[in-house]
A = this chain, B = another copy of it.
């Protein structure tokens, strides 16, 4: 079986720029490799886990009769699930007719909450509340907001059949609430940060509920990890990290992940949290932007080509040639559309990705190309691991600790003070 993805730096400019940075990744790679299996960096060990699969499948089986899964969670507790769910809904909210759908509620917007109640039949909904700390205000507020409606719909005695929880083993507010209602509870690995948790129960329970092959997700991640932790020259994440850090020093302060695949739209959101929250410290880091091609060609491309030269582009594509409807000259019936004759929808996407990369490169914009033959559990698992590793390696190059997010605490404390001060 071939490797799940490729990386092509031919348009990324001046390898000399990043050679020094690439060499500097060697100790990081050695340290990460030595850590595999030790628990020191929990995200490295998720691909090898088999111990938690039975519990994940058992929890999923409890919701077998529900046509909607409502995930309550935010940040690291929601973006991984959104990313994996896109393999089912195409990243577009297009759930197959008669199939199961995932609805994700991340906010404490009372108007959005009202829409949720107007949309869902709670009697046919399984609710999954996910919070690592068990103290996330949004998730607790959502769950406490829903419980009265759920009790009214199905009866208090049935609540435990409709709600499941993922949280740390340690005592916390969400775990106590789970205890009060006897809700099934899966452990959030305590040393695994939210934005690195997609390959734990946090991402895999929702994925399992949607019928995805969760072992293939881990297998793809394992392949990416094992191939990455060798020499810098052959490590795709090390090359990506060295490129991003070298270009950041040259004023490329933004990193655009542009996926020519609808189903990778949510992946861009997941990447944006991973990169921003891990590296945005001490005045360092670069700003992630997510985009989808060809859609954002009609929104952002003008700026990318002719605005400030401050962005690194990563174009991720899926093999699409010969895929989708094929246009015949007769059906098109218009000489102006002759350029489409004999081509498929996928051909249009394929050439758009190539033409955009080429056009950006001609304007002197650095572009990295990443490609998967088939976007599935294996290749998506590999991409997830690639970017977790790339982020961890870039953090070392920047001299930043990637697993904390200290700055956000100040706002949380202030918000609670405001809340308590409300008359």
A residues bordering B, Cβ < 8 Å? Answer: 74-76, 79, 89-97, 103, 106-116, 118-119, 121, 135-138, 140-142, 144-145, 147-148, 172-173, 176-177, 180, 194, 253-254, 260-263, 269, 272-273, 276-277, 279-287, 289, 292-295, 297-311, 318, 320-321, 323-325, 327, 331-334, 336-337, 339-340, 343-349, 351-352, 354-356, 358-359, 362-363, 375, 405-408, 410-412, 414-416, 418-420, 422
Asked whether A281 and B306 contact (CB < 8 A) given A107-B349, A292-B107, the answer is: yes
Q: What residues of B have a CB within 8 angstroms of the CB of A333 in the complex?
A: 177, 180
Q: What residues of B have a CB within 8 angstroms of the CB of A176 in the complex?
A: 334, 336
Asked whether A276 and B302 contact (CB < 8 A) given A145-B345, A348-B141, the answer is: yes
A115 in complex: contacting residue of B89, B272, B414, CB < 8 Å: B89
A97/B119 in contact, CB under 8 A: yes
Q: What residues of B have a CB within 8 angstroms of the CB of A115 in the complex?
A: 89-90, 92, 94, 96, 262
A118/B96 in contact, CB under 8 A: yes
Cα of A79 to Cα of B299 in the assembled complex, Å: 9
B309/A283 in contact, CB under 8 A: yes
CB distance from A375 to the nearest CB of B (A): 7
Q: What residues of B have a CB within 8 angstroms of the CB of A103 in the complex?
A: 94
B282/A306 in contact, CB under 8 A: yes
Q: What residues of B have a CB within 8 angstroms of the CB of A254 in the complex?
A: 254, 287
Asked whether A96 and B119 contact (CB < 8 A) given A294-B74, A300-B273, the answer is: yes
Q: What residues of B have a CB within 8 angstroms of the CB of A283 in the complex?
A: 306-309
Q: What are some 14 contacts across the A-B interface (CB < 8 A)?
A: A90-B116, A107-B262, A108-B346, A110-B325, A138-B348, A254-B254, A272-B300, A280-B303, A280-B304, A287-B311, A348-B419, A351-B415, A354-B418, A355-B411
Main secondary structure of the interface of A (DSSP, over half): helix
Q: What residues of B have a CB within 8 angstroms of the CB of A422 in the complex?
A: 321, 343, 347, 351
Cα of A321 to Cα of B418 in the assembled complex, Å: 12
Asked whether A405 and B302 contact (CB < 8 A) given A91-B112, A284-B307, A307-B280, the answer is: yes
A94/B116 in contact, CB under 8 A: yes
A107/B295 in contact, CB under 8 A: yes
Looking across the interface, which residue of chain B has its beta carbon closest to that of A301? B408
A90 in complex: contacting residue of B95, B112, B405, CB < 8 Å: B112
B287/A303 in contact, CB under 8 A: yes
Cα of A93 to Cα of B104 in the assembled complex, Å: 10
B138/A262 in contact, CB under 8 A: no
Of A113, A307, A422, the most chain B CB neighbours within 10 A belong to A307
Asked whether A110 and B358 contact (CB < 8 A) given A90-B115, A298-B273, A307-B283, the answer is: no
Q: What residues of B have a CB within 8 angstroms of the CB of A406 in the complex?
A: 302, 306
A348/B294 in contact, CB under 8 A: no
Q: What residues of B have a CB within 8 angstroms of the CB of A121 in the complex?
A: 97
Cα of A85 to Cα of B340 in the assembled complex, Å: 32
Looking across the interface, which residue of chain B has its beta carbon closest to that of A280? B303
Q: What residues of B have a CB within 8 angstroms of the CB of A97 in the complex?
A: 118-119, 121
Cα of A269 to Cα of B367 in the assembled complex, Å: 23
Asked whether A408 and B144 contact (CB < 8 A) given A107-B295, A261-B109, the answer is: no
Looking across the interface, which residue of chain B has its beta carbon closest to that of A324? B110
Q: What residues of B have a CB within 8 angstroms of the CB of A418 in the complex?
A: 351, 354-355
Looking across the interface, which residue of chain B has its beta carbon closest to that of A359? B411
A415 in complex: contacting residue of B173, B269, B276, B352, CB < 8 Å: B352
CB distance from A340 to the nearest CB of B (A): 7
Q: What residues of B have a CB within 8 angstroms of the CB of A327 in the complex?
A: 141, 144-145
